[in-house]
Amino acid sequence: MLVRCNQAGFYRADNSKVGRIASEEVVLHLVKYKCMPILLYGFEVLNLNKSQLNSLDFVANRFLMKLLDTNNMQIIEFCCAQFNFILPSRQIANRRDLLYLTAHAPTC
């Protein structure tokens, strides 16, 4: 249920009129710093299964397909690499890794 609520918030934030007048770079920057936090809110504490993580990635991939006007996943992956756009499942994994490392870091 939380996945669907966060997806709805992401779509609301994404459906602004900025995308119609701004470049792809500007829209990706806005999505990265304004919409992705809405999509990922609260997921660090949940143990999401593979299906739920894929659902979050699907939202981001569909947005990118719409923005870049393509269905080719190779183009989407290339653009993600070029613009340093990290998919939600990877962001969650990175945050969990960071939390684990900071919790288990040796104290001086």
pLDDT value at 37 more than 90: no
Indicate the pTM of the whole model. 0.70
- What ranges in the chain are assigned the alpha helix state H? 2-14, 18-21, 24-30, 36-40, 50-68, 73-82, 88-103
Evaluate whether residue 86 is within a structural domain: yes
**pLDDT tens for residues 4-23?**
555 566 666 555 545 567 78
Angle at 95 between CA 93 and CA 98, to 5 degrees: 110
Containing structural domain, residue 10: 2-103
Q: Count of domains in the chain?
A: 1
What pLDDT is stored for residue 71 in this prediction? 94
pLDDT value at 77 more than 90: yes
Evaluate whether residue 34 is within a structural domain: yes
Evaluate whether residue 108 is within a structural domain: no
Contact between 69 and 11 (Cβ < 8 Å): no
Evaluate whether residue 67 is within a structural domain: yes
Evaluate whether residue 21 is within a structural domain: yes
Evaluate whether residue 76 is within a structural domain: yes
Which of 5-14, 22-31, 36-45 has the lowest average pLDDT?
5-14
